[in-house]
Structure 1
């Protein structure tokens, strides 16, 4: 049986360094020390390493194109992020190649393959809801392609990331609801597979706990879109002691809650308060106008792009992982007291 050819990833694991350090050492990159280069090349020769033609092609033929993988295209937050990315890229003379995973793992894998085939010089990505394995992103790393994750980060790969301060964003909103007189506050969140979902739920629970309000498990549900909010809200409002306030993981879901409450004859915000998350433009158009947490998506985009360009230009070593947290702001409107 023929022995398997070792890869850059194998060398990195054996020498306890990153795949990109191995890649740069083998290509005699000036940022890598002479000692590291000698260590890598000695090991590679000893184990008969032969470069992967595809990987070599990717490293040597990249253009000034940045790959962007979005979970959703029509979501206000992601469109705001994309605007920030595009403006920053244009300012620096880079082009953008946008791909859409539609919250699907298999499609996300295809998006990554498209980025490899396009010879992009870096990738910005927010992970799909259904993604739980990250081999496709590891393939980008193995080919020496810098990555920055934003909002929904990749738990399996240590790389630069830009996240929203989800915990404090939700904490401030729920704290405000409690201080305005609400005591039975429902929480509509996303799947616990996403780091941001868990951070938001913790913000909700801690705000209740620190204000001495009991947590009702029946009020914590997975509901993150308009249509599910219609049926879920009717169900919760039919309880003997229904919620007197709702916090929703995004504004579309909050609008669904608002519409059901009004249809059932509740007065908003006197009887039921509603708060969303994102600060979508629809917040100003709803009746009543919607209180929401501003995520500052545009700033997320510009920050992520700048981090990626710093990485592409070699301004940080592989060991210097950058993490940026974008602060949120509660925008109070007429849907809360």
Structure 2
């Protein structure tokens, strides 16, 4: 027997039968004798035969692969989503291929082209903060490759979507700050192109308007990215205003923690001088001192549902229509970085 990967031809030669007979025996073809099938299986096990899935996929004109495109993978947010996806896909015939766009529209477009070349069967995508044109996603759909958009919306793109109610989360967070006595609430928002940024900003604005609190442009800063470093200078600008805010609602926990860092450098007491609330409920947020009030998102469930929808599309051979839009409700988690109000009874307030 030759060294290297064992093939059907090697097994056939060893048993003096046709390769087609080996193939049928491995598939338990009813027309073959039991003795033949047993002999083939025994030799295949002895030689550690592994089927060539690439060749099989080429014959079937499918790759049994689902592409997962995310902006980054270092945060708990996206790693938890990917875990949810894998826990569902892992029980199916499909494999996942994780692709990082690094918040770059150009990289995202290149990834789509590569996935098309390898005949990927479906795509799960959270678009980049630069993505304004969705034609590359439509190209996938034109090639009968289903697309599920998760976390970040693509307005105008007809596709299955799994999102979180960012507006409701932001509104509830700011409403709570108002009820706790804050009247000068600032906002550290994300990149303006993102749907999540727009929805959280609108929730902030509407909560202020609902309470008849004037909206002050100088209290709104937008960060270029989502890391701690991205939030430092915008937070410093807010906390150097002559009329200092008494609260900050931040786009995410990293940015909120940046604001906490600047506040401590300026000898401001949290929450006595300023309350700070984030968004995402990253695992480390509860371990800061003071612990961070934030908005929790069901990210693992978001990943699982996205995976279930793509599997449903792949099993449904009909035309893509009646697209689903599923929206999860977040929860406000109250900790030590925000003032308490008289009505506070629990550490977690459901929206």
Partner residue, 1:140: 140
More deviation in 201-210 or 88-97? 88-97
Segments of structure 1 that go 5 or more residues without pairing to the other structure are 1-56
Q: 1:161 to 1:59 in 2, by over 3 A?
A: farther
Segments of structure 2 that go 5 or more residues without pairing to the other structure are 1-56, 340-351
- Whether the aligned pair in 2 keeps the contact of 1:58 and 1:143 (CA below 8 Å) is no
Deviation of 1:135 after TM superposition, in Å, equals 2.2
Secondary structure of the corresponding residue to residue 279 of structure 2: strand
Secondary structure of the corresponding residue to residue 330 of structure 1: strand
Q: 1:156 to 1:63 in 2, by over 3 A?
A: same
Partner residue, 1:299: 301
Partner residue, 1:227: 229
CA distance in 2, matches of 1:74, 1:197: 20
Secondary structure of the corresponding residue to residue 62 of structure 1: coil
Partner residue, 1:70: 70
Partner residue, 2:253: 251
- Whether the aligned pair in 2 keeps the contact of 1:310 and 1:316 (CA below 8 Å) is no
Deviation of 1:156 after TM superposition, in Å, equals 4.3
Runs of 4+ in 1 over 4 A off after TM superposition: 57-60
Q: TM-score of the superposition, structure 2-length normalised? A: 0.77
Q: Deviations over 1:39-82 (max 9, x none)?
A: xxxxxxxxxxxxxxxxxx99952132110000111122111111
Q: Deviations over 1:214-248 (max 9, x none)?
A: 11111111124321322222222121111111111
Q: CA RMSD in A?
A: 1.7
- Whether the aligned pair in 2 keeps the contact of 1:148 and 1:304 (CA below 8 Å) is yes
Q: Figure out how many residues of one structure are paired with residues of the other and give that number.
A: 281
Q: What is the 5 A alignment of 1:51-200?
A: 61-200=61-200
Partner residue, 1:23: none
CA distance in 2, matches of 1:181, 1:170: 17
- Whether the aligned pair in 1 keeps the contact of 2:188 and 2:235 (CA below 8 Å) is no
CA distance in 1, matches of 2:318, 2:216: 46
Q: Deviations over 1:100-130 (max 9, x none)?
A: 0000011001111221122221100011111
Q: Deviations over 1:247-273 (max 9, x none)?
A: 111111111000110111111011111
Deviation of 1:315 after TM superposition, in Å, equals 7.6
Deviation of 1:316 after TM superposition, in Å, equals 7.2
Q: Deviations over 1:9-30 (max 9, x none)?
A: xxxxxxxxxxxxxxxxxxxxxx
Among 269, 272, 275, the residue aligned to 1:273:
275
Q: TM-score of the superposition, structure 1-length normalised? A: 0.80
Q: Deviations over 1:173-201 (max 9, x none)?
A: 10111111111111111222222211111
Secondary structure of the corresponding residue to residue 278 of structure 2: strand
Q: What is the 5 A alignment of 1:294-333?
A: 294-314=296-316, 318-333=320-335
- Whether the aligned pair in 1 keeps the contact of 2:146 and 2:320 (CA below 8 Å) is no
- Whether the aligned pair in 2 keeps the contact of 1:59 and 1:143 (CA below 8 Å) is no
- Whether the aligned pair in 1 keeps the contact of 2:188 and 2:234 (CA below 8 Å) is no
CA distance in 2, matches of 1:316, 1:217: 50
